[in-house]
Structures are given as structure tokens and as C-alpha cells.
Chain A
Amino acid sequence: MSNNNNIIENDVKNNTNQNSNKNVIEVRNLGKKFDVENKGLLFSKNINPDAVFSDNHDGFVLKDVNLDIKEGEFHIFLGASGCGKSTLLNIIAGFLNPTEGSITCEGNPIVKPGPERGVVFQNADQAIFPWLTVYKNVEYGLKAQGIKKAERKPIVENALKLVGLQDHAKKHPSELSGGMKQRVQIARSIASNPKILIMDEPFGALDAQTRRTLQDEFIEIWKKTGKTILFVTHDLQEAVYLGQKISIFSASPDARIITQVDVPFDYPRNLDDPVISEFERKVHEKLEEAINIHKDKNIDKSALSA
């Protein structure tokens, strides 16, 4: 794996945010397979999935995943569709549990969702509360955590200002555009002051123009807040435009993070810059390699059995 790390051995000094060497997220030898759902059976969560499931192949979506996410880093997950990016992200968010291996946030094992790991979902319509105003949506996490009203107000106002929605505080989500709804989600997560902001293709459902605007705005938000970002995308350009570090996944089953790329360019980046296009092409090569490793493995197997 280490031989893949040297695409560009850069110094991260160029980057706007000074990353400390502290790891916010540490993933060690993590594996995940989805077991049979035990719906309808009460208190039956602890059935050993191996006992229920005895397939020929082991059925791991993710296998031997190792990952460090540094404090303040803009970290990208890049990989083919279905490789398990969302699965790993959901494990980090605490929505899913790993089958094997360990995962920690600032040294504490992750077992369930928590406000120190803010999540921005792809579909804002699903994620925000249509019955609450923009203000109350952003206030939700603070209220849930029992923060007093007087303390909530400046936090909410700041978060709204950060995403440029201060003039829309009294509106309801149905009165907002798609891009504005996504801004509400970002503000709502940031208001809870999370250690890391986890985003699964947050701009994937937006039109190209709005996506570009939000990407630029989000870089500014990241710079201002200095948050650690984990951002999933399968858009190579988006990855190169936004990320400081790109983790590339191999294909599932048994997917893992197979290559990591440091992106050495300052923000804002100009994708038409020949140096950056060349870099993008190289990342693309690595991505293709990562996807094909698995295919080669399969071919080898079938060749052996033939």
C-alpha cells in the first residue's frame, strides 16, 4: 500500500488550514458485512450472523480498512459506486456498527451517533425538518443538548450568517431552493460545533451551477471554522477541487482504502490550470487502478480454477 502513497509527496504547509498531527478519526482493520435483518424478533440482535449465514464467500463489503483523519483536514472518500463509501461513513457517523476491527473518535470508540460527529446528508429534503423554520432547524441540536436559550441565539445567528441565510431565518424549508436547504443542513450541523463534519455527496443532488457555488462557499466555511471534514463523492473533479487528502477505495466486496493522495494546491483552485488538470488525470489513473485491482484478482482466481 505504501508504494501508492507517493503520487505527490508534498508538504501540506501550502494549505490554508494548518493541520495538527492529531487524529480525529482512527480506523483499524475494520471490516463490515451486512447480516440478515432480524426484524420482528424482539431482543434478537445478538444472534451471531455467521451462524445464520454460511455462504461460500465471506460477504464482507469492507475488509481491512485502515484510516486516519487528521484534525482540520479536508478529507475526501473517492471510489466507484457501491464500493462502500457510504457504509464506512455511516459507521463513522455511528449509524452502523463494524463487524470487526476498531474505530475511534478522539480516542473514544464509536458506538452510536453523537453531536461531535455532525452529518450532512445528501438529500436535504429528507434530512431537515419541514415543520420548523430555518432558524429553528439550525437551533435543533443546541436545544436537544439542553443549551440555554440566551446561549443558543448568538450561535444560531452566527451559523446562519456563515451560510448566508441570515435574511431567511423565519422561512420554512418549503420556501427555499435546493441549495438553500443544503445550506440549512450545513448550518444546523455546524451550530452543534462538531469535531468532524461528515458529508455523503452533499452536493450530488444539486444542479451543476448551484453545486459549484456551494463548493466555493463551503471552502470558505471550512477555512473560517477550521473544522475537520469528511466528504464522500464519486466526482473526481469535486474531489480535486475540494480535498486536501483523497482516500481512494478499491471495489467491493472486500473493499478497502487502497491509495491516499495529498492534494498540494492552494484554494481557490482553478481546474483549468494545466498543472491541476494533469494532477486530476493522475488521480483518475489511480482510481482506475483501484477499481481494477479487484477485477484482476477475480481473473487470477478463475484462471487458477480452470
Chain B
Amino acid sequence: MLSQTAELKKESLNSYFHNVSLEASNEVSITNQKKRVKSIAKGKTAKNAVNKFLKTGIISWVILFIAWELASRAMSPEFLPGPIATFKGLKELALAGTLWADIKISMIRVGIGWGRALLIAIPLGLLIGRFKVVKSIVEPLINFFRFIPAIGFLTLFLMWFGVGEESKLVLITYAAVFPIIINTIAGVASIDPVKYQAAQSLGANSIYTFFTVTVPGAIPNILTGVRLGLSSAIISIVAAEMLAASEGLGYLIFTSRLYYRTDWIFAGIIVLGIIGFLADKLIRFLAFKLFKFYGVAKQ
């Protein structure tokens, strides 16, 4: 008797559990499902295409070019050259060959100045972030000087470092160093203290911990600093080539005013913008490839 009721109970309990078979119950529903899946997929690919197109940023550029051309026509083209005039100016410079020389020399200056900034700022930022003594000595100075724009030092740098390359490089480095330091410090501060505790409990001393926890842990923020530093370096090239230069994009932008070639000024500005844009893309691409597991976000 008892066992029977138990059996019954078991069976009735079983009715609450349903196996889900791998195949759908009938053909009709399958074809219906397939149709639905297809139409959803269609809608999705269309949506994806629109999204992709929006992501390229082409729309903003088209709007900008139209507005720019209209504005230029409303005013005198010498006062504000439109995109077509600018493109013509650019072509002129490219054909004359000076544009490539200017790009090359400016990029070398930016590259060296920015590279030096990286070499100074990343180790310094890491040390400031990790060691209180370094922080208490260096940080007040940084917080003072970072508010003084590079251009403020232009004349002094020329006096101190001469009219050659060095003064220009120093200026670019000066401009690029602060965003890198500040972001590196922030990167060190963002590291979870539990990671240090774990490292210590595993027998790591403070030097080992510095290289295996502090450095890798700060990398995502360091890369932000690296990118901001590059934009500062590119921005400062105009100032660096303003005085005592005979070539470079900054020189081009600054001296074109003497010939009333506002289209050349625009050409120079646009080339700088494009170079910065591409360099930033490249850094982000490489950063993601190299440091994916350090927490660097993809684009």
C-alpha cells in the first residue's frame, strides 16, 4: 500500500518535469521559425549596416564640409577659404614637394619630443603614484607647472637651448609630459590594494611588486596619458616652429599669413588633424592588440 502511493507520488511528480527535445514538434513550425529567423536576420543586417555607417563619422564630416563651404561663400574666400580652395592649396603644396618635407620634419620633431616625454613621464608617474616620498617632493611642482602653457616658455627655451632643434624638442616634450604623468599617477591609484596584499603574501618584495603589480596595473590609464600626450605634442608643434624654423607644418601654418595664403593655413591645419587622427587610431589599435588583458578597452 505504502509503496504504491509512493510510486504514484513519484509518477505525478514526474509530470512536472519535461524533456526538451532537440527537434521541433512539426514541420510547419520549423519552416515558420526559419522564415522568422530569416526576416529578423535581414532586419538585423540592415540595422548593422546603418550602425556601421554612423560609426564611420562620415555624416559629421559631410555636414562640416557643407557648412564650411557655405560659410566661405558668404564671406570672402581670402578671409575664410572653403574646403575646395583648401584642397586646391593642398594640392599645390604637395606638387611643389614642400608639403612632404614639412610633414616629415614635423613628425620627426613630434616623435622625438613625445618619445622623450614618455621616457620621463611614465617612470616618474609610476614612482609618484607608488612611493609617498617621491609624491610629496615632486607632485607640488607638477601641479604648479602643468598650468603654464608651453608657449609661455617659448622665448626662454630659445635662449636656453638655442635656435636649433633642441629648443623645439624641449617645447614639445614639455607640452606632452603633463597629461602622461597625471594619467599614470591615476593609473597607479586605480590598482586594487588587494593585489598588493596578494603579491606580498606570495613573497614578493616591494621592487618585485612595483614591476609586477604597479606597472601592469597602471597600463590602461598610462595609454590614455600616452594618447593625450601625443595630441599635446601635435598641438605644440605650431608653437615650436613659430620662431627660428625654416620648415615644418607649424612653420607652414605660421608663415603662410605673410603671403595671405589662408588656404595654405587651412591645408596645414587639416594635415595636422589627419596625422593626429591616424596616429591616435594606430595607438589604440596597437594598445588593444598588446594589452587586451590589462583592461584596455577596444576603441
Contact = CB atoms under 8 A, between A and B. Distances in A.
A299 interface: no
A118 B132 CA distance: 27
Main secondary structure of the interface of B (DSSP, over half): helix
B201 A119 contact: yes
> Which of B133, B216, B291, B293 has the most chain A CB atoms inside 10 A of its CB?
B293
Contacts of A141: 202-204
Contact of B201 (A117, A123, A129, A131): A117
A272 B60 CA distance: 67
Contact of B194 (A112, A127, A132, A192): A127
A253 B214 CA distance: 36
A61 to B, nearest CB: 19
Interface in A99-143: 112-115, 117-119, 121, 123, 126-132, 140-141
Main secondary structure of the interface of A (DSSP, over half): loop
How many A residues touch the partner, as a band?
Answer: 20 to 34
A140 B216 contact: no
Nearest to B197: A95
Interface residues of B, number: 24
A93 interface: yes
Contacts of A145: 202-203
B53 interface: no
B195 A115 contact: no
A27 to B, nearest CB: 18
Given A42-B132, A114-B201, 16 more contacts: A93-B201, A112-B200, A113-B200, A118-B201, A118-B202, A119-B198, A121-B194, A126-B192, A130-B295, A131-B291, A140-B202, A140-B204, A144-B202, A144-B212, A174-B293, A189-B201
Interface of B: 132-133, 136, 192, 194-195, 197-205, 208, 212-213, 216, 219, 291, 293-295
26 contacts: A42-B136, A93-B197, A94-B200, A94-B201, A112-B200, A113-B197, A113-B200, A114-B201, A115-B203, A117-B201, A121-B194, A121-B197, A121-B198, A126-B192, A126-B194, A127-B195, A128-B198, A129-B216, A130-B293, A130-B295, A131-B219, A140-B202, A140-B212, A141-B204, A144-B203, A145-B202
Question: Lowest 9 CB-CB distances: which A-B pairs, in order?
Answer: A141-B202, A115-B203, A144-B204, A113-B200, A126-B194, A145-B203, A119-B201, A113-B201, A131-B294
